[in-house]
Structure 1
């Protein structure tokens, strides 16, 4: 059966879109652009295949679809901006086979102006077609929350902005087959800026509670109790909680690397959040010292090394920097994570604990970095010699909190 949709990039953005599309009855083909890892379970992937999803055997299949959605990674570049090399490669591949009347949608996070000033010229140059006349071009910021079963593409409103009103309507018609609500932005740049605002909102608020965590520790205040009380306010407050660092695929953007004006608050938030792994290492060393032990030679067990609970995804996980910091202090680091069978830091394999409770009882310090559902935190707090909880997930008084 010929596909209606091509999802280009089968990572954490593309796979959920493909999953939603096949569930809505849209014949879908996926095109892999690299060694991407999504967050779907093997059972979910099997169900997608049973519903008709398939991977493209070659780029020629991209020329036989009505809609192509680019979901490739745009990671942070060395200069602090976004690395668009994978987007450029995927766009050239698509344009080499694209036919007239195709609707092309970009979901990858980009700076405002990228779809029109970077993607459009590439597609036009390689295809010989004209955006807005021969094919539709639009941007729709991805709103994927890996592992969140409550919010899926079907019940999450989709923002769309097109190069022309006709481009917007064509993209809206496609997404209207998948989601309950389509929100039309004024244009491409407005749609791109939505992602900018949403991502930076998360990072700025996490930075605020991370700074509060440091301050409250110094003051002897239980921050988690503060947040619990504050979130009872029915207006003007949304609860965020601190942690050992900010991971994931959403990169905060202050635009300075692109010569933009810059967002001072976002720049400061990045600095605050980037300090958290080092703060965890400092707290770990201080706790060991308070209990008459040195970090050098101490046995430290890290629990949960993924960036998010109950997922195998390790993208930008703070656990790696924390392990590195502890190793440089001379600690003997091991880890436990039900989703990560092997883990390497500084190009060296980190020993994996098979028995969680035995490992916690043997370790001089256990650090909870991610609260996977399988962890019995009450039992863990009893077994561990010394426990540092960076998530505020253990019972009150059962562990030292961040």
Structure 2
């Protein structure tokens, strides 16, 4: 894989850390800014919503520029709004910086996916996708715990400064390592052509499956802490270790799916999907036993991100006629799932179904995805023009 891909993954690591790190900073942030914990929680929702809306919008806006310039501008905005967030004493300003950071993050990931696809051979999209998404999973493993530790030691602002500082080397490296392209065609022509290509039923169904699988992932992941403490009976000190265990599994899953997504996506999606369904149901049923639950957390992290990564790769193959906007729609689908999953898990908890219920909801979401895949099997069958990456 080209060195530039790993440069992009470094930036994605910083952005993923920013997206998830607030889970460990909310109480301190709420006290410092004089707002309630629930109000501070709106910062997470604002970021997720910005990711969903921002991916296609910033991708269209970025079509006016060469990819390297778009990446540099989006990452520079991301750095600046984190610095502003670290300096502000106003909750309203901080909320605005989170929305702007999400817009920049979504645009960067969308353009980064398009740039990655242009750097590799046509049959290596899965491996390129796994490198980029590896930055997100490493953020779960290392970035989020490090951000929480910084927040506890030096205050929540230190975590914002750290994200900005980690992004600075990526800015320079993008300038040096990402190849310049020949510049864009007129934006109206390209946008119209690419939006037409995105009407492909196979692509739309793949994006739906990606949203459903990611909703299942984040439904269970969001409520792992109470599952560990209230159902499994482990001390609260175990929670970071369990979250890191899930992150380690997710990194392993993304890495392992890289080649399989290019060579045998059908086998990975069918086998992985069935295993994922069984795993969420088994976790819900056996959560009272740490001996059973902890290995399942690792396995489910691996399966969830392996299947999710494979679906994104398949979407990129299906969106070959929309190289700029295809990645943005994939990004939006992932984040739509990340918004819907925790909300559905919260509804189950509000209904009094207990802390096992989000895992059951996750199993149900994967079951729906499998049912949709079966019903849409003919529509999702790859066309001859998709190449080796779409072969089963």
TM-score (norm 2): 0.27
Which has a greater percent of strand? 1
Q: Which structure is higher in RCO with an 8 Å CA cutoff and minimum separation 6? A: 2
Larger CA Rg, structure 1 vs 2: 1
Which has a greater percent of helix? 2
